[in-house]
Amino acid sequence: MKHADISDKQVQIGLAGWGDHDGIYPPGTKTGDKLKEYGRRFPIVELDSSFYAIPTPERMQKWSEQTPDSFGFIVKAYQGMTGHTRGKIPFPDARSMFEAFRESAEALQAEGKLRAVLFQYPPWFDCDRKNVEVLRRTRQWMDGLPLALEFRHQSWFAGEMREKTLAFMREEGWIHSVCDEPQAGEGSIPTVLAPTREDFTLVRLHGRNAEGWQSGGQPNWREVRYLYRYDERELSEWKANIMALLESTQTCWIVFNNNSGGDAADNAMQLMRLFGLDVPALPPDQLSLFDEA
């Protein structure tokens, strides 16, 4: 897998999860074989199943064994650790929950395949002193692991808080997760093109479905929220944005999270072409699906 060399910088492009992208796999690929196939096509993946349940270290080890030596995982923090469960957790206390997750993440770290643990906080996690202390405690409990931080409440980047938030992230060592998402009220954040570490920056492309972004509470809200296909112009704009980020960070990971309509893989390959990267070879039976999309 070739990476874009931009004055000794790196661009690595991947997808959120590996199970929802049937178009990149040979027909009939078994669920248990998809990660191995995925690892032949992309250099990184966002492990999102860890948001719903903490994987065992043994499961992490198995996933590691199915991927190339150079492959990397961005592991999404368990929902109880980011407040999505509003305090309801299947653990005796918060510390034991974090310790269980840490043990799991360290299994990947020992294999050299943990790129970052992504802490994505919910829309009600606003910018106040109490939540700043939550972030400090999280950083302490996860010390030694690379951590990425993503907000969903615009107060963190409103007005003068923008520079204060970025300064806090730099001081605490957080990797900034730069977002592209609909601008749909206080429950979304703007695109802030500012790395907080010199080594790594994460970019997550959620799509721009403003109506779907407000669909929380509906039975199919996850499907609706991330239903979006980036066009060539939008991807060209993001190439320029990534080039700007690379002026002050060494490596940029880009994760496409617009999975609902099967667009993430195709958009990822479009961006890879724009950067001159080797594009994954599709199974012959799948080529027409992407040509017609």
Tens digit of each residue's pLDDT (9 = 90 or more) over 43-70: 999 999 999 999 999 999 999 999 999 9
- Each residue's pLDDT tens digit, 235-272: 999 999 999 999 999 999 999 999 888 899 999 999 99
The count of structural domains within the chain is 1
HEC letters along the chain: CCCEEECCEEEEEEEECCCCCHHHCCCCCCHHHHHHHHHCCCCEEEECHHHCCCCCHHHHHHHHHCCCCCCEEEEECCHHHCCCCCCCCCCCCHHHHHHHHHHHHHHHHHCCCEEEEEEECCCCCCCCHHHHHHHHHHHHHCCCCCEEEECCCHHHHCCCHHHHHHHHHHHHCCEEEEEECCCCCCCCCCCCCCCCCCCEEEEEECCCCHHHHCCCCCCCHHHHHCCCCCCHHHHHHHHHHHHHHCCCCCEEEEEECCCCCCCHHHHHHHHHHHCCCCCCCCCHHHHHHHHHC
Degrees, nearest 5: CA angle 280-282-287: 135
242: domain CATH number is 3.20.20.410
| pLDDT above 70: percentage of residues in the chain | 91
Task: Pick 262 or 192 by higher pLDDT.
Answer: 192
pLDDT at res. 217: 63
Q: How many CB atoms lie within 10 A of CB 36?
A: 15
Task: Give me the domain span that covers residue 74.
Answer: 4-292
- Region 129-158 average pLDDT: 98
* pLDDT interval class at 226 (50, 70, 90): confident
- Region 165-194 average pLDDT: 96
Structure token digits, residue 104: 């799991």
pLDDT at res. 285: 61
- Region 29-36 average pLDDT: 96
CA 277 – CA 38 distance, rounded (Å): 16
Range of weakest confidence among 123-127, 129-133, 201-205, 225-229: 225-229
Structure token digits, residue 43: 């250099």
Prediction pTM value: 0.92
In this structure, the strands spanning 4-6 and 9-16 are antiparallel
Structure token digits, residue 147: 């951590």
* pLDDT interval class at 2 (50, 70, 90): very low
11 and 275 Cβ atoms separated by less than 8 Å: yes
- Region 60-81 average pLDDT: 98
